[in-house]
Amino acid sequence: MANDIFVIVEHMDGKFSDISFEMIGKAKELASLLGGQVIALVLGSGLNANVFASTTTFYVDELALAQFNPEAYGRVIEALVKEKSPRLVMLGWTAPGMDLAAWLSVRLGKPCVAYVKGIVFEAGELVVSSQLYAGKLIAEVTPEGDMAILALLAGSFPMEAGQGSTLATRIAAPVSLDGLKIKFVESVRPAASDVDITAQEKLVSIGRGIGSKDNVELAEDLAKALGAVVSASRPVIDARWLPASRQVGKSGRKVKPKLYLALGISGSPEHLEGIKRAELIVAINTDKKAPIFNYAHYGATADLFEVAEAMLELL
């Protein structure tokens, strides 16, 4: 199985994440060049795992795997990777993926590349593009050895090619899951909010560039004039200028408005993951190298306050 590709899929509340399908689709493309197979690995309990366009889907159905547990997942994945010896192991560069990619790299002694945006084979060599410094630098690396662990950024590849109906094969856990040192206790949900930003057609989103809590009022005035709602990137939420329910991004909410007006947001990979389905992205930032300009449909290298005030006057 030296040319096969292992894809570790993710799920929450019985739903598989978009990045799971993105990875399967990319793995299919690479496997066709390598002459190998795409093996989707599902760990959980009570799931419908027949939804991937993989060559094979292995499903380890164990109650101990129902909720993500890095120790339990790590044990199972490590054992299966050792048994199958694939050429590549793909994970999402997500909260679970950060735990598992590091575990596998150390336990297997294999190279790991994180923040992956692109994967190609050139002259028989694997070339991986990794996004660094919030997208301001792209590093191209060639992992050494017969196996590599790749942690992919969400939104880097289309997900449609990964959707299918391969019948999953249930397999037993290859290792004991007794005596775990980590135990899942409960899932803590965000507090209820007066606004659901995922249901809004227009969002005025603010980032670190807003400067202070006092300036949030300007964004609220602009949002009101546009018939929109104010949302934010993580620095604004961490500063407690807006409630956590307004956060857009990987650790917040994924939104798909008709208009996403980004004021003072640089565009970290985590934030871009949350806005990839927006129909129209307009970005205002004084930094002409801000990564968000690579994704925005329209952008201006300008002072957000001047732009917001001018828009308010026109409206």
Q: What is the pLDDT of residue 191?
A: 66
Tens-place pLDDT, residues 238-258: 999 999 899 999 878 889 999
Mean pLDDT, residues 119-125 taken together: 88
Domains of the chain and CATH, by start:
5-171 (3.40.50.620), 197-314 (3.40.50.1220)
Q: 32-76: per-residue pLDDT in tens?
A: 999 999 999 999 999 999 999 999 999 999 999 999 999 999 999
pLDDT of residue 276: 87
pLDDT given for residue 54 in this prediction: 96
pLDDT reported for residue 221? 97
Of residues 181 and 251, the one with the higher pLDDT is 181
Share of the chain above pLDDT 70, in %: 98
pLDDT at 142: 95
Supply the pLDDT for residue 192: 64
pLDDT at position 250 is 81
Is pLDDT of 136 > 80? Answer: no
* Strand boundaries in the chain, DSSP class E: 5-8, 11-12, 15-16, 38-44, 56-61, 88-92, 112-122, 125-132, 137-141, 148-152, 169-171, 202-206, 229-232, 259-263, 281-284, 298-300
Average pLDDT value for the chain: 93
- Give mean pLDDT, residues 271-297: 93
pLDDT of residue 193: 64
pLDDT above 90 (res 97): yes
